[in-house]
Amino acid sequence: MIVSGSNKVSTEPAYADSLEKRIGIPYVSDGTLSQVVDIYYAPEGVRRNAVLIDIHGGFYVAGKRENNRKFASLFLREGYDVVLLEYRVNDGKTDVADELGDCAAALDFLASNAASLGLNMERMFLTGDSAGGHLALYMAEGAEDTAVPVRPKVFKPRGVLLNCPAYDFASFASSDGFTEEAMAWFIGPRYQDRAYLESLSPRTYISGFSGPLFISTSRHDFIRGQALMLKADCDSLGRTIEFIDIASDDKKVGHVHNVENLALPESGEVNDKMLEFLEKHSR
């Protein structure tokens, strides 16, 4: 099984490392080492007074915020402050509901303490890749819709950018591509509870979301069908979104390529579109 993200933290230097930053800020009291955020501040000469909050992927069981520092560097160079959000991954004790709860707590912490953290709460954007795309979209839906069970109460995103997102979470429970053992591993012990899965699925609440939305996928994205389903649902609701589907034959241009392999020309194409989206909706 392919898992986007890794528990092995990269020690390679990134542009982000050279900037003003605050590392490992807890967003809950008496939390774990996974319930923290890192904040990187764009250089004053180019700073746009807008914030990109990144939720990493890892199929709900892996991934580390630190591994997205090079991805964050791209946006820092263009003047956006970047927050890398960490959450507890599914380990048999916590599951996706806990991950969503962590994200909601982190986002409300950032919004409530924006002034003291030097962030602009009026221009906060969410981005997420793979499982992080699920978490990001669900948080954005919850910011608008009180029917969403796990939601931020204070945070309101200016826009949402998703790269190869998981979307119809409940569909994983009936997927022919995963064994029961695999589903218990990445979903948790309630993987057969359809109502529970639907309650945690962004697809359940998409009709209540009206904010600006960017989606990317590619021909070799192994969950490309999820992004296509999200686009189809938005189309049926009459929602205008920004969608890019890279048709490259290069298999390296696959799942979350623009996050993990920034050197690819196709990754540059996607990330340039992300910057255009941020510019447009930061005004």
What's the pLDDT tens digit per position in 265-275? Answer: 999 999 999 99
- For residue 38, report the phi and psi dihedrals to the nearest 5 degrees: -110, 135
pLDDT, mean over the chain: 94
What pLDDT does 235 receive?
A: 98
Point out which residues pair with 57 in neighbouring strands.
none
pLDDT at position 8 over 80: no
pLDDT at 173: 67
* pLDDT tier for residue 222 given thresholds of 50, 70 and 90: very high
Taking residue 277's Cβ as centre, other Cβ atoms within 10 Å add up to 19
Confidence at 27, pLDDT banded by 50, 70, 90: very high
Q: Does domain 16-282 have CATH number 3.40.50.1820?
A: yes
CA-nearest of 60, 36, 75 to 258 is 75
Residue 47 phi, psi (nearest 5): -60, 130
Distance, first Cα to last Cα, the chain? 41
pLDDT tens readout for residues 32-56:
999 999 999 999 999 999 999 999 9
How far is CA 212 from its chain centroid? 15
Percent above pLDDT 70 for the chain: 94
User: Amino acid letter at 213?
Assistant: L
Tokens representing 142?
């919850």
Going by C-beta distance under 8 Å and a sequence separation of 6 or more, which residues neighbour residue 185? 61, 90
Domain residue spans of the chain: 16-282
Q: What local confidence, expressed as pLDDT, does residue 125 receive?
A: 98
Let me know: does 278 contact 252? Beta carbons within 8 Å: no
Confidence at residue 9, expressed as pLDDT on a 0 to 100 scale: 58
Predicted confidence at residue 93, as pLDDT, reads 83
Q: What is the pLDDT of residues 60-100, one digit of tens each?
A: 999 999 999 999 999 999 999 999 999 999 988 889 999 99
Nearest Cα neighbor of 259 from 246, 248, 271 is 271
Q: What is the pTM of this model?
A: 0.95
Among 12-16, 172-176, 195-199, which is the least confidently predicted range?
Answer: 172-176
Write out the two tokens for 20.
Answer: 């003003």
